Amino acid sequence: MEKRTVLWYMTFWGFALNSVYRMNINIAIVSMIKHPVKASNVTLISECFQHNTIIESNNNNSQDDKFEWDEHQQSIVLGAFFMLHMIMPIPGGILAQHYGGKYVFGLCNGLAAILSFAIPASAKISYKALTGIRLIQGFIAGSTWPAMHTMTAKWIPKHERSWFVSAYIGNSVGTAVIYMTCGYLIDLYNWEIVFYLTGAIGLLWYICWTYFVYESPAVHPTITEEEKSYIESSIGKQIKSSKPLPIPWKSLLSSKPLILNVLTSNGGMWGLFTISTQAPTYFNFVLGLSVKQTGFWAGLPYINRWIFAFGFSTFCDHLIKSKTMSVTNVRKLSTFFCNILQGLLILGISFCGCNAIASITMVTLTAIVNGCSASGVLAGSVDLAPNYAGIILGLTSTFGVFAGFVSPIIIGLFTYHQQTLGQWSKVFYISSAICCSTGLLYILFANSEVQKWNNKYDSDDIEKEMNDIKKKTNSNDQNSTNN
């Protein structure tokens, strides 16, 4: 098996676990919290029960061991992972630039796995203690995405990047697996099993990552010369230096294509985080589905998301390799699906009312089209400057993760003691507007060409080397003349 294929599999499961650490609280909290009993909610929830034919009763409906956390406290718990998570993408990119993407990606996922074991005990102390563990876990996990982009730039030729970055959408499989399996596990046992199980699997992955993955083709001990030559010749001279390069911050922060990439990524992630984080709560508290149904229907869209992302990414790579479309136009096509179509589908959820089947369909389609981000802005951030791919994704993630903790806070404000369809519709309107507007900006003004500052320091090094050669030649001529 080719080594970059091995890297794809290990990256896929790495991102799946990274998503598990983010999302496991979303399904667990459905069983951790006592259901609302406010009079303003009883009629509406009863109405949804009457309209939905797929509702079944909860087998594990005891309220005795559950926490009395209101919507505001729940939103803090759900958003805590992202509060410090957004601090680390840029430092994470810098760390990966200096110490290697393998080390940073692996260690961050491994430490996040260990912290999963501490979540049940902290929750029983107070929601504040749980928030503290989630803050630390999110802080540590924040470096993973830019670290992996550093390795992508070293391992993957441009015409394979859409395919390879589809491994990042392993986070969809992680979300699906944690929702679908843990809904049943919670129903059979309790919510604590979610965190013990995911922590153990994460440690197993870390051992495999350490053993099978290497920083670059140049240092891999068992890679074939054929694959090594193919990768290095395909990537060409876009990444020429093995030592850390100075970071052109001024060029980075003033780059119009990069700014558009960041805004578009933020828009797509806002929609994704709104749906993925809140779907279990919406299905269980508003539509009245059981914990098993909530887990299954909240998780199913993300299996489909990855399948679609993989197929669409392969199609996009074909368009680029066959020169049917330019790289820029392929990224824009992907953004149309990921942002604009996603935004319209989110808007559609608000018109589904108590119809659970229609709501589930809309949520599923929303998650599916978001998978196009793998061949859109995610791959596009490597296109812009392969030498600084980790730093660029760090910038993108910093602003993108902003949605991860702001979205739950906004939802908490809208739904505080008001778990009503009307209040949730306002949430969907806001998310739709953000997705569509950012996608439109990218389609109108973005490009994915390699930026001049990508090779700035390489050019300076070449010029310095030429000057040194000239000085040495002149010095030799002078000595010959004197002799």
| pLDDT tens-digit readout, 11-69 | 999 998 888 888 888 878 878 887 654 434 443 443 565 555 454 544 444 555 678 88
The pair phi, psi for residue 275, each rounded to 5°, is -75, -50
Whether 210 is in a domain gets the answer: yes
Range from 169-173, 425-429, 474-478 that averages highest in pLDDT: 425-429
Query: 296-334 pLDDT, tens per residue?
Result: 887 778 788 878 888 888 898 889 888 899 999 999 999
Domain residues for the domain of 345 are: 3-34+70-466
Whether 42 is in a domain gets the answer: no
Whether 382 is in a domain gets the answer: yes
Whether 297 is in a domain gets the answer: yes
Whether 56 is in a domain gets the answer: no
Token code pair at residue 478: 């002078």
Cα–Cα distance, 343 to 3 (Å, whole number): 38
Token code pair at residue 42: 């009883």
The closest alpha carbon to 20, from 178, 166, 204, 199, belongs to: 178
Predicted pLDDT of residue 453: 84
Looking at residue 33, the DSSP 8-state letter turns out to be B
Looking at residue 268, the DSSP 8-state letter turns out to be H
Written as one letter, the residue type at 354 is C
The SS3 of residue 126 is: coil
Count the neighbouring beta carbons within 10 Å of the beta carbon of residue 68: 9
Report whether pLDDT(261) > 70.
yes
Residue 452 to residues 157, 248, 343, 382: CA-CA distances in angstroms? 19, 11, 34, 14
The pair phi, psi for residue 220, each rounded to 5°, is -75, 125
The closest alpha carbon to 373, from 171, 74, 98, belongs to: 171
Identify the bridge partners of residue 33 per DSSP, sorted by sequence position: 67
Count the neighbouring beta carbons within 10 Å of the beta carbon of residue 465: 10
Cα–Cα distance, 205 to 113 (Å, whole number): 10
**Domain tally for the chain?**
1
Whether 220 is in a domain gets the answer: yes
Whether 65 is in a domain gets the answer: no
Query: 94-109 pLDDT, tens per residue?
Result: 888 788 889 999 999 9
Q: Region 258-264: what's the mean pLDDT?
A: 90
Query: What does the mean pLDDT of the chain come to?
Result: 80
Count the neighbouring beta carbons within 10 Å of the beta carbon of residue 117: 16
Identify the bridge partners of residue 67 per DSSP, sorted by sequence position: 33
Predicted pLDDT of residue 469: 45
The closest alpha carbon to 223, from 459, 403, 2, 395, belongs to: 2
Cα–Cα distance, 24 to 7 (Å, whole number): 25
Kindly give, in sequence order, each residue whose CB lies less than 8 Å from that of residue 189, ignoring residues fewer than 6 positions away: none
Whether 95 is in a domain gets the answer: yes
Angle, helix 291-321 to helix 356-370, in steps of 10 degrees: 30
Cα–Cα distance, 289 to 179 (Å, whole number): 14
pTM value is 0.67
Cα–Cα distance, 244 to 51 (Å, whole number): 61
What CATH number should be reported for the domain holding residue 115?
A: 1.20.1250.20
